[in-house]
Structures are given as C-alpha cells and as structure tokens.
Structure 1
C-alpha cells in the first residue's frame, strides 16, 4: 500500500511541475502587411511568404497552409500549375515551422487561425475582385477549418481541404490518448522522432520524400507539447463538422495511413448531413482518390488533384474531371448509412 501511495505521490509531483506550453502571438502593436518575401503580422512576427502569380488579374486566389513540420515550399508544384491557369497562390511558414519564429514550438490554434484570417484580409485588399480560397493540407486543413469556423468577414469564397487532420482524441485508441496526456504533463519538452514506430507511407512519390528528408527546413521530430497542441487543433477541426458554411472541397486518399478512415468517415457523416442549400446548389464536394496517399498534392498522380481543384474553383456545380467525387459517393454510401 505504501508503495502505491509513493508512486501516486511521485506522479502528482511530476504533473504539478510540468504542463504543455503554447507560445502564442504577442500584443498587436503594428499594422499587418505584406512585402515581397514575408507576411508581417500585427504582433510584428515575420512569416516567410511565397507567391506564384499569373499574367494579369487572377481569376481566383489560393492561400495555402502547410502541414505539420512542413513549410511553404510544399505548394510549389501545385501553385505553378494554378498560375498557368490564371490562379494566384500564396503560401507562408506558420509560426514554429520552416523559417518562421520560434521554430519547433507550438503557437496555439487561435494564433494559427488568426494569422490565416489576417493574411486573407490583406490578400483581399490586394485583389478585391478575385475570389479567395483557403487551402490546407493535413494540419493546414485543420487550421483552415478552425479559421473558417470563426470567420465573420465573408472574405473567403471557399475552402479546400487536402487530407485534413481530423484524428480527434475521441477517435484515438485510449492508450494512445492516455500516453500523450501523460507525456505532455510530465515531459513536455521531450522530442520524439518517430523512428522505430509503426511504419507508414505518406506518399508513393519516393523521390519527393527523400528530398523532404534532405530539406533542412522540414522539421524532423517534434516536442511532446507540440504534438499535444496538434491534438487540440484536430479536436477543434473534427468538431467543426456542423458549423462550416463555406463552399468546401475535401480531398482524401484511400491509401492514407496518416489520418485513418474512421475519424474521416465520422466527420463526413456529420459534415454531409445537409449537403445542399435551399436553392439546391452544391456546397460540399468530397473527392476520394483510389490510389491516393496522405500527401495528395505531391503524390505521383498529384496532377489529378490539381485539375480537380482548378475545375472546382471554376464551378462548384459540375463533377470533377477525375471522377473522384463520384468515387466518394460510391465508397461513402454504405459507410455513412451505417453511422445512422
């Protein structure tokens, strides 16, 4: 009995001494602005910015948000394609990632969402006649969903979610959730690399993955408190299913083993409950890629997703060129029925 009490006392001591931290944006002391290489936020943070511009006035503008441990370069190839089709693209390094301040530290869901909405406002000021679309990959998708949920400006014309991070705690195995909580409240500074853990295949584009491995701006590993923050963000994204009102295109690869099918299907069951507005216009399009992996925009068949995104931006009323929306309807019909 004394041994159990001692262990419980030790755990209590550890938990009282450590808490997962966030490193949010500071006081708003300046006017947010854009320059050629950076997005300057209202607290003065300089977030590296990339742009790909078409000739003349763009017919639409995409603001792209990268995934966990990635940075703005992720959008280089798709953005080149879009610029050839009259669409301007912007992508930036989020706080704690790439060359942004406080590398490796978690800024918090509110800061990430606020940065995105601020950038959307600045881009709209530059292109007042062009519709604005927010595109997020993986964690970036969760940031887009969180921002869209709290957007009251009506500046955004639609959101595009590429394999969004929807693995909420309620859909995780209990032991995984419990371990993350314990580590976050005992050793939040501990850095995990993922080596020796279950092997996953994020993409079939092996050369691209090797290049990411050599890229010094791609973070390898993460602090436990950063992973805990990511879990908080995924909770918010998962719970936004009933409140997203923007026109939405959601892309998912059927070979995705980073974001499991169970949480994705559970989200879609609620998200697609009311698919059309009173006028009958489609607002929500889901696309399933049979040979797609988690990194859909950089897979070997990534050009199919680029074509579908461009077509959807042109008209949300027609089927996608790849047929991935029809594929999703076939796959999801029995799945969604089973949730009812």
Structure 2
C-alpha cells in the first residue's frame, strides 16, 4: 500500500511538473491598456493603445454588410484581396482586414504579441467598424490563426458582431510532448527560427499563389520559436473553449487541408452552439480563399451574410 501511495505521489508530481512547464516556460505581454478610440485611417488601423497597424479595405458604395477580417499565421491582410474585392463589387459587402501585430506592416514584424493582445485588437477593430457603420450588420471573419483568435475571444465574452465566419480554423490541441519541447526550446532560444520546409505539407492547389506568397516580403518565411509556442496556445484555447460559444456561425473547412487536422476542426465544429452553418469542401485546401475552387467559398460567404 505504501509503495502504491509512493507511485501515486510520483505520478502526481510528474503531472504537476509537466503542467508547470507547459504553462510557465514562455510568457508574452498582457493586452495593452486603452488610451485612444480605435479608428480606420486610410491604410492604417489605430488600436486602443495608439498602435498603428496595417489595414486594407475593400469598400462598397452602399454596403449591406461589413466584415472585419483576421489573416492566418505568417500572413497579412492581403490574404483577403480576392474575395473582398469580389464581395464589394458583386454583393455590396465592405471588408476591413488588419495586419495583426507582429505581421505584415504592423509593429514588431515576426514577434509574437500575445493572445490577449490579438484579442484586444480584434475587439478594437470591430468597435472601429461599428462606429464607422453603425446601422450596417457587422461580421468577424478569420482564416486559420485568425479564426482561432475569434473563437478564443468569443469564448471570453461575446463579440459585438452579428455573426462569425471561421475558415479553416486554427483549432488543435497539440500533443503535450510537442508543446513541452517547443516551450523548453523557446525558453532558451526564443529567436531561433523555423522555415517549415521539412514538414512537406501543401497549403493550396493554387501554385501561382504559393509562388506569389513566397516572393512577398510581407510574408513571414522564418518563424521564431516563441511565436510557434504562441500560436500553439491560441489553437489550444480555440479547440478547448469552443463549447462556450453561442452565436451565428459560418464554419468552413476543406477536406484536403494538410495544415490543421480534419478531426480537430470537426470536433470543434460539434462543440459550437447557436445557429451554426457548416460547409465542407471536398476539393478545398487550407487556403480556402485562394484555392483553385475558392470562388465557391466566396459565394457561400456572401450568401450566408446576405441571408
């Protein structure tokens, strides 16, 4: 009996130690304090602390809906150029896409800003859009990591939006050994970078788009280890906290996605509550808005918003 108690104590200690290592190795800044009113100015989004983030806008003359869009990991607002221009021209939907902190033209390129800061910027962008278009329905849209940020934010408290559009959402409870290894490595060498070339995974079947992204200087090509830890935490939060969401949701995923596990996306979709519309594309890859069949996705988004 004593031996069993000793084994139980050792097992409990190991679990506590693992939990500590997973949560405490790498820390990120807290959300910034609010000091200014968020606003859109030309190609700049001014967030709550006065930080000037990159912004791209595609505005319809008389918009019937507004979308605030968040890009995926290592990407930036240009990710929505195709669909947003099409929505504005064909469906009177205006889109405001921001470069999240650490990405694109925003401050501290390549450095992870922290989940709470990303959430604060999302809420600020929605507030700026609501202030600019007070009588027009407003939607929060995210691709991959951006969708993960939206889920994590909505799980904390409801967003000021009529609905959520989640495309190839970054939702994944990465196995503990991998998270532990990343935490430890990032603790000692946070600035070490990874390229992902050895992963041998394809993001889309649109090869010209892949070449364009590879040549774009605003795309992050080498990811810092601490940023890997940061995005892993966002994905974990989105995966585990999705059950707290009760909203109108359009959930999009491609069956050929090689970046986010299909079972993780499916399980997350099943946890959502509210008016959830699920769209699954047999020929869809991770870059749903840029794939060769992407116009199907664009049409589905426009139809859902107009409904």
Q: TM-score range by the shorter chain?
A: 0.7 to 0.9
Distance 1:54 1:269 in 2: 34
Q: Deviations over 1:87-144 (max 9, x none)?
A: 0100011000001001111111111111111111111111111110111000000111
| Per-residue deviation, 1:25 | 4.9
| Per-residue deviation, 1:55 | 1.9
Structure 2 unaligned segments of length 5 or more: list them: 1-20
Residue 135 (structure 1) aligned to one of 134, 141, 149: 141
TM-score normalized by the length of structure 1? 0.80
Residue 130 (structure 2) aligned to one of 121, 124, 130: 124
CA contact (8 A) 2:71 2:77 kept: yes
SS in 2 for 1:90: strand
Matched, 1:184 2:186: yes
Distance 2:269 2:81 in 1: 29
Indicate the residue corresponding to 1:51 in structure 2: 57
CA contact (8 A) 2:254 2:280 kept: yes
Matched, 1:297 2:289: yes
CA contact (8 A) 2:31 2:120 kept: no
Matched, 1:86 2:83: no
Question: Aligned runs of 1:90-239 on 2, under 5 Å?
Answer: 90-152=96-158, 155-169=160-174, 172=175, 174-195=176-197, 197-239=198-240
Indicate the residue corresponding to 1:254 in structure 2: 255
TM-score normalized by the length of structure 2? 0.88
Q: Deviations over 1:275-298 (max 9, x none)?
A: x6xxxxxx0011110010000000
| Per-residue deviation, 1:28 | 3.0
Indicate the residue corresponding to 1:308 in structure 2: 300
Distance 1:199 1:32 in 2: 41
Which 4+ runs in 1 deviate beyond 6 A? none
Distance 1:202 1:212 in 2: 11
Residue 62 (structure 1) aligned to one of 60, 67, 72: 67
Indicate the residue corresponding to 1:42 in structure 2: 48
Distance 1:33 1:308 in 2: 29
**1:288/1:157 Cα in 2 relative to 1: closer, same or farther (>3 Å)?**
same
Distance 2:140 2:68 in 1: 5
Matched, 1:72 2:77: yes
SS in 1 for 2:149: helix
**1:254/1:52 Cα in 2 relative to 1: closer, same or farther (>3 Å)?**
same
| Per-residue deviation, 1:21 | 4.0
Indicate the residue corresponding to 1:329 in structure 2: none
| Per-residue deviation, 1:41 | 1.3
Distance 1:140 1:95 in 2: 12
Indicate the residue corresponding to 2:11 in structure 1: none
CA contact (8 A) 1:192 1:224 kept: yes
| Per-residue deviation, 1:268 | 2.6
Indicate the residue corresponding to 1:245 in structure 2: 246
**1:266/1:155 Cα in 2 relative to 1: closer, same or farther (>3 Å)?**
closer
